[in-house]
Amino acid sequence: MREKTPFGRWGTALLALLALLALGGAARADGERPGAFDHYVLALSWTPAWCALEGDARGAAECDAGTGRGFTLHGLWPQDGGGWPAYCPTAERAPSRARTAEEADLYGSSGLAWHQWRKHGTCTGLSADEYYRLAREAHARVERPAVLEALERAVTLPAAVVEEAFLEANPDFPADGVTVLCREGRIREVRLCLTRGLDPRSCEGRARRDCTLGDALLEPAR
């Protein structure tokens, strides 16, 4: 005789769903209420890695020789419950092409600036202008380690060294307020956690998943 579960005929499926939710934290649905978040993550992409993995195939202008791009702003993301809301409904007007073009120096392209507003900026409760100004301020508050951006040749190093370089350059951040991400053996991105007032704070949930590679590739700016 089959053992009965306390949840009836759907008990097994319900328990499996609860287990999945417990593993990764509650899944975030797109289209949540703007402004309903706890803090921010400032994501900085290492441009040479992005170019090698994606940008070169797209013919991205920021990957051209002589651009000298190291860490580029990926985005400023509202965070809540260990994840991030996305594509929130908003009454705020989308930025014009001219407005996003003004942010290309920070994001690397006007297309990324527009995408970041659409996916993440709409969830802040801010207008596009306010969101871009806040992202620029957050970016300005974080020092990018000069020793990394001045590399003259590719090196392999523990990902933890990149994290330590950021903590040394930004001593107000707690040790768990900076995390490094890798992809295909490369240093891909650094994420820093900020309060809604843009002060350093600890990361939580998905933002705390550090790269543990001991021989990650870090290529120089082009």
CATH number for the domain harbouring residue 126:
3.90.730.10
Please give the average per-residue pLDDT across 68-85, as a whole number: 91
Residue 1 inside a domain? The answer is no
Residue 21 inside a domain? The answer is yes
User: How far is it, in rounded angstroms, from Cα 107 to Cα 188?
Assistant: 15
Is the CB of residue 76 less than 8 Å from the CB of residue 134? Answer: yes
pLDDT at 159: 97
User: In this model, does residue 29 exceed pLDDT 80?
Assistant: no
User: In this model, does residue 139 exceed pLDDT 70?
Assistant: yes
Residue 207 inside a domain? The answer is yes
User: How far is it, in rounded angstroms, from Cα 126 to Cα 33?
Assistant: 12
Residue 210 inside a domain? The answer is yes
pLDDT at 84: 85
User: How far is it, in rounded angstroms, from Cα 200 to Cα 180?
Assistant: 16
User: How far is it, in rounded angstroms, from Cα 107 to Cα 119?
Assistant: 14
Residue 56 inside a domain? The answer is yes
Taking only the tens place, the pLDDT of each residue in 103-127 is: 999 999 999 999 999 999 999 999 9
Is the CB of residue 87 less than 8 Å from the CB of residue 31? Answer: yes
- Six token digits for residue 100: 């996003």
Residue 110 inside a domain? The answer is yes
* pTM of the predicted model as reported, rounded to 2 decimal places: 0.84
User: How far is it, in rounded angstroms, from Cα 191 to Cα 87?
Assistant: 20
Number of domains in the chain: 1
Residue 3 inside a domain? The answer is no
Residue 2 inside a domain? The answer is no
Alpha-helix residue ranges (DSSP H) falling in the chain = 11-24, 47-50, 56-58, 97-101, 104-107, 110-119, 128-141, 146-149, 159-169
User: In this model, does residue 58 exceed pLDDT 60?
Assistant: yes
What is the residue range of 61's domain? 8-218
